[in-house]
Structure 1
Amino acid sequence: MMQPTEIQIDVNDEVSMAVLTAGEGEPLLFLHGAGGLFWDPYLGELAKQYKVYAPYLPGVGNSTGLESITDIWGLVLTYFDLLDALEIDSINVIGHSMGGMIGCEMAATDPSRIKRLLPIAPAGLFDLDNPMGDIFAMVPEELAQRVVLDPESEVARALFTLPEDMDEKVAVVINQISTLQAAAKFLWPLPDKGLKNRLRRIKAPTLVIWGKQDGLIPVEYAQAFQQRIPHMQLELIDQASHTVQLEQLPRCLQLTHQFMQADNLSQVA
C-alpha cells in the first residue's frame, strides 16, 4: 500500500494543519470522521490514481488552532483556507461521517470550489424518532459493534485493537480522546447544525455511499440527504455498517473511480 507523507500547512494566522498526502494526478481532499484519520487501504488505493490530501481536523494529531474555531462555519472556512494555502482553486471531496457533513457544508457554501462530492455515511442531520448513535456516550466495545458489521472481522481488529506496547497504547488512547474532543465541538450535543436547510445549494455532482446495516447513522438518513441534494445519486451497499469503505472496499473503490471519472454520471452503477 502506498504510504503517505505528512506535511504541515499554516492555513491562516491561527490554524496550522497536518496533512497526509500521497499520489499524483487530480487532487482529492479526504475529510475524516470523529473516529480519526488513518491511512487505510481505501486511501492507499485512491492514491494510486489521485493526489490525495487528508488533513487532520484542528485539535487532532499535529493540527492546531481548534480554540480559534467557534462553530461549523468557522471550520468550513478553515478548510477553504487550506485549499488556498495549497493553491487549489477547486477539488474533488470525499468525506466520511463527520467529514461527509463538512464536505456537504463546503459544497453548499461555495459550489464553485467543489468539483465532485462523495459523502460516505455523512453526519449532519438528526431525526428524534430515529436518532443516530451518540458516540460521545459509548464505550469502545459498543462503538466497535456500531461501526463495523462484524466485530470479529479484520477491519474491526485494525480499527480497535490497541498496541501491546504500553507507551504506544497510551499514545493511541490519548489520540482517540483528543479526536473525540475536537469532533464534539461540531457534533455535540446534536449533529444538526442546520445543514438540512443548506443542502439544496449543492451544485456539484454528488454520490452518497451508505452501508445498509449502518449501526451508527441509520440508513434511513440516506433518503433524507437524497431528498435535499439536487440530482444526488445514492448507493446502498449490503453487508456493511458505518465503515462501508473498508468493509466493502472493492465495491466502494469501483463506485469511487466510476464517479470521479465518469463524463456522464449516469454511468455510475
Structure 2
Amino acid sequence: MPQPTEHTYQVNRRLAIDTLEAGQGEPLLFLHGAGGLAWDPYLDALAEHYRVIAPFMPGTSKSNDISQVRDLWDLVLGYYDLLDALDIDAVDVVGHSMGGMIACEIAATDQSRVKRLVAIAPAGVFDIDNPMPDIFAMRPRDLAARMLVDPDSPIAKAIATLPDDVDDQVEVLIQRLSTLNAAAKFLWPIPDKGLDRRLPRIKAPTLLMWGRQDGLIPVAYADIFMAGMPHAHLEVLDQASHLVQIERLPDALRLTLAALQGPASTAA
C-alpha cells in the first residue's frame, strides 16, 4: 500500500494548507468532512490508481488556525490556490460530508477546474454572511445556534436542551438524532444560503453516493442535489451510514472508480 506523506503548501500570503498525499498517476483531490483528516482504507485503495491529495480541513491541523478562513468562498478560493500551487489545471474531486459540499461549490464556481465529481453524503455548516466558527471549541447548543437555519426545527430543539454535562452531550445528541431520523422528522437543510441554486452550474459528471441507514444526513437529502444536478447519478447503498466509503468499501470503491474513469466534463 502507498504510504501517505505530509506536505504543507503556502497557497497565498495568508493561508497554508497541509495535505497527506500518496500514489502516482493522475491527481485526485479528496476533501474530508469537518472531523479532520484520517487516511483510511478507501484512500489507500484510491492511491493504487491515482495521486491522492487530501488536504486537512483548515483549523484541524496543528499549523492552520481556523481564523485563516473567513467564509465558504475563502475556503473554495484557497483550494483553487492549492491546485495552482500543485500546477494542476483540472482535477477529479471526491468529497465526503462537508468536503462533499465544498467539492460541489468548487465545481459550481469554476466549471473548468473539476473534470469529474464524486460527492459522498455531502452536507455543510457554512454561512457565507458570517465568519467561519471554530466548531471544535463551541458548546453544542452554541454551534446549533450558529449553523442551523431554523432555530425552531426539531434538530435545533434537540441540541438546545442537551444536558450541561459535557461528557453526556455527545451521547445524548446521537440518541436524539437517531430518534428524529427514524421518525422521518429531520431533513438537514442546506444552510449556506444558496447552494441548491448553484448546483445547476456544475458541468462535471457527478456521482452522488449515500448510505441508506445514514443516521446523520438522511437519504432524502439527496433529492435536493438530484433536482439541481442534470449531470448527476445517485447510488444508495444498503447496510451503510454516513461513512459509506468505509462500511461498504468494495462497492463504494467500484462505483467511485467507474465514475472517475468515465467521460470528463467538456468544460475542463
TM over 0.5: yes
Query: What is the aligned partner in structure 2 of residue 181 from structure 1?
Result: none
Specify whether residues 237 and 5 from structure 1 end up closer, same or farther in structure 2 by C-alpha distance, changes over 3 A only.
Answer: same
- Does the CA contact (< 8 Å) of 2:116 and 2:264 recur in 1? no
Distance in 1 of aligned mates of 2:87 and 2:108: 21
SS of structure 2 residue aligned to 1:235: strand
SS of structure 1 residue aligned to 2:92: strand
Q: Say whether residues 1:60 and 2:57 are aligned partners.
A: no
Query: What is the aligned partner in structure 2 of residue 14 from structure 1?
Result: 14
Distance in 1 of aligned mates of 2:105 and 2:176: 25
- Does the CA contact (< 8 Å) of 1:108 and 1:202 recur in 2? yes
Specify whether residues 104 and 190 from structure 1 end up closer, same or farther in structure 2 by C-alpha distance, changes over 3 A only.
Answer: closer
SS of structure 1 residue aligned to 2:258: helix
Distance in 1 of aligned mates of 2:30 and 2:154: 28
Query: What is the aligned partner in structure 2 of residue 262 from structure 1?
Result: 262
Structure 1 position 131, deviation (Å): 6.0
Query: What is the aligned partner in structure 2 of residue 206 from structure 1?
Result: 206
Structure 1 position 5, deviation (Å): 0.2
Q: Which moved more, 1:118-127 or 1:138-147?
A: 138-147
Query: What is the aligned partner in structure 2 of residue 153 from structure 1?
Result: none
Gaps of 5+ in 1: 149-188
Specify whether residues 263 and 109 from structure 1 end up closer, same or farther in structure 2 by C-alpha distance, changes over 3 A only.
Answer: closer
Q: Which moved more, 1:123-132 or 1:12-21?
A: 123-132
Distance in 2 of aligned mates of 1:135 and 1:42: 32
Distance in 2 of aligned mates of 1:2 and 1:116: 23
Distance in 1 of aligned mates of 2:59 and 2:24: 28
Structure 1 position 134, deviation (Å): 8.5
| 1:206-233: CA deviation from partner (whole Å, max 9, x where unpaired) | 0000001111011100111000112210
Specify whether residues 37 and 68 from structure 1 end up closer, same or farther in structure 2 by C-alpha distance, changes over 3 A only.
Answer: closer
Query: What is the aligned partner in structure 2 of residue 151 from structure 1?
Result: none
Structure 1 position 130, deviation (Å): 8.2
| 1:116-174: CA deviation from partner (whole Å, max 9, x where unpaired) | 010100004989678699899794446777999xxxxxxxxxxxxxxxxxxxxxxxxxx
Distance in 1 of aligned mates of 2:100 and 2:90: 17
Gaps of 5+ in 2: 126-147, 163-167, 179-188
Distance in 1 of aligned mates of 2:156 and 2:111: 28
RMSD of equivalent CA atoms: 3.1
Specify whether residues 145 and 256 from structure 1 end up closer, same or farther in structure 2 by C-alpha distance, changes over 3 A only.
Answer: farther
Distance in 2 of aligned mates of 1:134 and 1:30: 32
Query: What is the aligned partner in structure 2 of residue 166 from structure 1?
Result: none
- Does the CA contact (< 8 Å) of 1:133 and 1:217 recur in 2? no
Query: What is the aligned partner in structure 1 of residue 75 from structure 2?
Result: 75
| 1:48-78: CA deviation from partner (whole Å, max 9, x where unpaired) | 0000000001111144253232110111001
Distance in 1 of aligned mates of 2:114 and 2:246: 24
Distance in 1 of aligned mates of 2:89 and 2:226: 27
Distance in 1 of aligned mates of 2:43 and 2:33: 14
Specify whether residues 263 and 192 from structure 1 end up closer, same or farther in structure 2 by C-alpha distance, changes over 3 A only.
Answer: closer
Distance in 2 of aligned mates of 1:135 and 1:89: 43
TM-score computed with the length of structure 1 as normaliser: 0.75
Distance in 1 of aligned mates of 2:244 and 2:173: 15
Identity %: 56
| 1:74-121: CA deviation from partner (whole Å, max 9, x where unpaired) | 110011011111111000000000000000000000000000010100
Specify whether residues 96 and 80 from structure 1 end up closer, same or farther in structure 2 by C-alpha distance, changes over 3 A only.
Answer: same
Distance in 1 of aligned mates of 2:211 and 2:176: 12
Query: What is the aligned partner in structure 2 of residue 94 from structure 1?
Result: 94
Distance in 2 of aligned mates of 1:134 and 1:8: 39
